[in-house]
A and B are shown apart, each in its own frame.
Chain A
Amino acid sequence: MAHAAALEIRHLNKQYIVDNQPMPVLENIDLSINPGEFISVVGSSGCGKSTLLRLIIGLEKEYQGEIRVDGQPIVGTSLERGIVFQEHRLFPWLTVEQNIAVSLLNANQSSKSKHDAVHAHIEMVGLKGFENAWPGQLSGGMSQRVAIARALVSRPEILLLDEPFGALDALTRSHLQRELQTILRQEGITAIMVTHDVEEAVYLGDRIVVMEPRPGRIKRVVDVPLARPRDRGSYAFAAIKADVMADFSEVIAPPEPAPPPTHGLSPSWRFSW
């Protein structure tokens, strides 16, 4: 159904106006993404990762530079581009089932096939039996899974994911990573995923974009030339992870002084005075 789309970002600059002052958030972003490619994006908090996704999905009108999908400049949002926001953003007045169906509302499908697709995705994210639950009755991780199903169910050409697995336990997380990978491969969907988990970035990404803050820039792009499915225990995997980690800790480490020695008390006692 969906064909893989190429994404081309050229000289992209974005600023927000804060207190009447322009504040640069993204500076000179250049990135070419091949059809069907999986891009992981890592970078410290506030470096503009979510803003980058907002621009690509078409929610921001004001920016300089170009964002092209298959050569065409983007105009607003499109059903061909889907997103899992950083927060789940479910409508509290709709059930789980209805929330997922929201992204098929304007899709060109029979209601039978919509219904089937919604149920297949509820099963995939492990929420069978919760079809008629209200979002207020779900845990954070369950809500996040509904949001993932909502984005996947419409089979977009380009899928954007903003820390989609952040609120999940390790088991559900690796299950959904595998499911996501399978669907993306099968359908040939191009994906960009923001994550704080470097291991996840290496496991899923064809390339890893490392960003640095103030203003948000691409520091470097790391290739992950490993065959899939990837073995997290392999030497090559560990080497790439360590390489990216080194980048990351440079950015994060300086403001944080090393914890003082705790004179024989266990680390959990550190805050007890």
Chain B
Amino acid sequence: MSVISLRKLRRGTTIPALILLAWWAVYAFGITDSKLFVPPGQVLTAAATLSEAGELWPAVGQSLLRAMGGFILGAGIGLIMGVLLGMSSRTERFFSLTLHSVKQVSLFAWLPLISVWFGYEDGSKVVFIALAAFFPVVLNTLEGVGNVPRDWVDVARVSHFTPWQMFARLVLPAALPSIFNGIYLSLVFSWLATLGAEYLLGSGIGLGTLLFESRAEFKMDVVLVGLVLTGFIGFALDIIAKATERRLLRWRENTVGA
């Protein structure tokens, strides 16, 4: 187990390491001195300067706060709606079609509407992120709850499950793998939407704002600091989500046949 994940980690870090090496080499051997990009060392210096000036971490914190707020709001509503609508096959068919069509509206097309309703402050950013987080959770929950195998429902009926037991002991655990797919996607979307919202709605501090403002001022080192941090945070969210999933779906780990 630990050997495998170590090997996986090594395989996963090979390409980034090579890119980093090439990046460093291009500047170190004087192949270029383009001002559109900066050597790796300068990015670290920029990060240190920003951090000391007290600009970096508050921005990261604000962005994370927005992302989590939107994620919890959107995923929470998505989960509840998905469960309620998925319990009846008729509402499921009706709403899943509606939701699939609404989903086709590009997320960014909602922005004008959201900004009119909620302004340009944090409220509208969180609403935008929540919208991004909502769709994957509601659709996957709907699917998971609606597709509980009939064989298992029979078992529950033979044991005279109450409606609550049906839900808590059958429907929810049976739908959990699917729900998790949704939550995982929702987390990724939340983070993407956070940067998008900060860019398009401006105002307030945040990682996205930092990124796009420094681009305007042509501070490429700061842009790269933002870029690298964004990647790292996305990566960390990914790891947290996967670890939580493994814990909750422990029973899927040890399977003879799979």
Contacts and interface: CB of A to CB of B under 8 A. Distances in A.
A79 interface: yes
A78 B160 contact: yes
Contacts of A94: 251
A136 B161 contact: no
Interface string A72-97: 00001111011101010101111000
A8 B161 CA distance: 26
B13 to A, nearest CB: 32
Nearest to B153: A59
B159 A136 contact: no
Given A57-B158, A91-B173, A103-B159, A136 B151 contact: no
Given A93-B176, A134-B251, A139 B256 contact: yes
B254 A87 contact: no
A111 interface: no
Contacts of B160: 77-79, 106
B251 A105 contact: no
Nearest to A82: B158
Interface string B43-80: 00000000000000000000000000000000000000
B152 A91 contact: yes
Nearest to A90: B155
B258 A136 contact: yes
A58 B255 CA distance: 33
A212 to B, nearest CB: 26
B165 interface: yes
Contacts of B159: 79, 102-103, 105-106
B154 A136 contact: no
B252 A136 contact: yes
B91 interface: no
A242 interface: no
B152 A89 contact: yes
Contacts of A87: 151
A138 interface: yes
Per DSSP, are chain A's interface residues mostly helix, strand or loop, or mixed? loop
B154 A134 contact: no
B257 interface: yes
A85 B159 CA distance: 13
B162 interface: yes
Nearest to B151: A89
Nearest to A103: B159
B215 interface: no
A82 B155 CA distance: 10
Interface residues of B, number: 25
B251 A93 contact: yes
A137 interface: yes
Contacts of B170: 91
A244 B160 CA distance: 37
B158 A83 contact: yes
B10 interface: no
B254 A134 contact: yes
B100 interface: no
B187 to A, nearest CB: 22
Interface in B118-165: 151-152, 154-155, 157-162, 165
A146 to B, nearest CB: 12
Given A79-B160, A102-B159, A89 B256 contact: no
A254 to B, nearest CB: 33
A106 B162 contact: yes
B253 to A, nearest CB: 8
A101 to B, nearest CB: 10
A91 B151 contact: no
A36 to B, nearest CB: 22
Contacts of A105: 159, 161, 165, 169
A145 B252 CA distance: 21
A215 to B, nearest CB: 23
Nearest to A59: B154
A85 B257 contact: no
B155 A138 contact: no
Contacts of A76: 157
Interface of A: 57, 59, 76-79, 81-83, 85, 87, 89, 91-94, 102-103, 105-106, 134-139
20 contacts: A57-B158, A76-B157, A78-B160, A79-B159, A85-B154, A85-B155, A91-B155, A91-B173, A93-B174, A93-B176, A94-B251, A102-B159, A103-B159, A105-B165, A106-B160, A106-B165, A134-B250, A135-B251, A136-B255, A136-B257
Interface of B: 151-152, 154-155, 157-162, 165, 169-170, 173-174, 176, 249-252, 254-258
